[in-house]
Amino acid sequence: MRKLITFPCQGETLVGSLDEAPGTTGLLIISGGNEIRCGAHRGMALLAAELAVLGTPVFRFDRRGIGDSTGENGGFASSGPDVMAAVTAFRAAAPQVKTLVGFGNCDAATALLLHGGDAFDRLILANPWVIEQNDDLPPAAAIRARYADRLRDPTSWRRMVTGQVNIGKLVSGLAKVATAQSQLSSLERAVFEALAAHRDARVILAAGDATAIAFADAARRLGHDAAPIMIDTASHSFARQSDKAALRAAIMAALA
């Protein structure tokens, strides 16, 4: 059964959903970006229901300023109090939970790493966000990967010769690749320092997703040797049925 729960966070009221189950390992899901707790395409709500049927209690919530929760939306960087308040609410609502696992996609994964502290026994991190964005272009690593694929495709050459390629965007992309620094940004350093403190964290990457490509590139530059779980999709939110099944299998393995 799914239960609606309200709980406090720094003077505001957050709203969460608990998919009840008897298991002693519980999963707390954090939504990425400005998504409400059901996730993209209701993916997190469906995942919660499926896991609860298998015996895992699952808690999801809207952080301040998102969905049903009150307050101001400060983004993932200021979501530490929200995460801790959700942990407290989950444990109160499901007191049988002994092992707490956190799962997030994109900047929710980063929020778990940077703000989760010792509240979680295990972390499952999908496409962790490591990009300090200063323009509306994809990260340099994703641009390189995209151009490498296109250079191997004769159709792309024909489109360029016939003027079907946006030259301005092409030049901007090449300039970003050329000026990309090999040094890690402050966010990249913070993420990988936190990963070093959570050696049992499971990282899941959508192979063709720009955010995942940027994370893998930062890992390579840092020499981070932990192999991620790769899912063969370009969908950031694991939207296809096969993507959802692969993600669910990876999460179930981590819960076990």
CATH number at residue 71: 3.40.50.1820
Count of structural domains within the chain: 2
DSSP helix/strand/coil, 29: strand
Q: Is residue 191 domain-shared with residue 238, that is, in the same domain?
A: yes
**Secondary structure letter of residue 182 according to DSSP:** S
| Residue 15 φ then ψ, to 5° | -120, 130
45: containing domain: 2-132+185-255
Give the model's pLDDT for residue 134. 61
Q: Is residue 48 domain-shared with residue 146, that is, in the same domain?
A: no
User: CB neighbours of 172 closer than 8 A, spacing ≥ 6?
Assistant: 135, 137
Confidence class of residue 175 from pLDDT cuts 50, 70 and 90? very low
Q: Is residue 205 domain-shared with residue 231, that is, in the same domain?
A: yes
Which residue from 223, 138, 234 is spatially nearest to 180, judged by alpha carbons? 138
Q: Is residue 89 domain-shared with residue 174, that is, in the same domain?
A: no
Distance of CA 213 to the CA centre of its chain: 13
Q: Is residue 115 domain-shared with residue 58, that is, in the same domain?
A: yes
Cα torsion for 106, 111, 116, 121, to the nearest 10°? 0
Strand partners, 250: none
Q: Is residue 166 domain-shared with residue 225, that is, in the same domain?
A: no
The whole-angstrom separation of Cα 226 and Cα 238 is: 22
Q: Is residue 123 domain-shared with residue 240, that is, in the same domain?
A: yes
Distance of CA 62 to the CA centre of its chain: 15
| Residue 203 φ then ψ, to 5° | -105, 130
Assigned token pair, 45: 């709500």
Say if residues 33 and 231 touch (Cβ distance below 8 Å): no
Residue 39 Ramachandran class (φ > 0 left, ψ -120 to 50 alpha, else beta): left
Q: Is residue 200 domain-shared with residue 158, that is, in the same domain?
A: no
Stronger pLDDT, 148 or 184, i.e. the higher one: 184
Q: Is residue 159 domain-shared with residue 216, that is, in the same domain?
A: no
Tell me the pLDDT tens digit for each residue of 19-67: 999 999 999 999 999 999 999 999 999 999 999 999 999 999 999 999 9
Q: Is residue 47 domain-shared with residue 101, that is, in the same domain?
A: yes
Q: Is residue 127 domain-shared with residue 151, that is, in the same domain?
A: no
Tell me the pLDDT tens digit for each residue of 195-252: 999 988 999 999 999 999 999 999 999 999 889 999 999 999 999 999 999 999 999 9
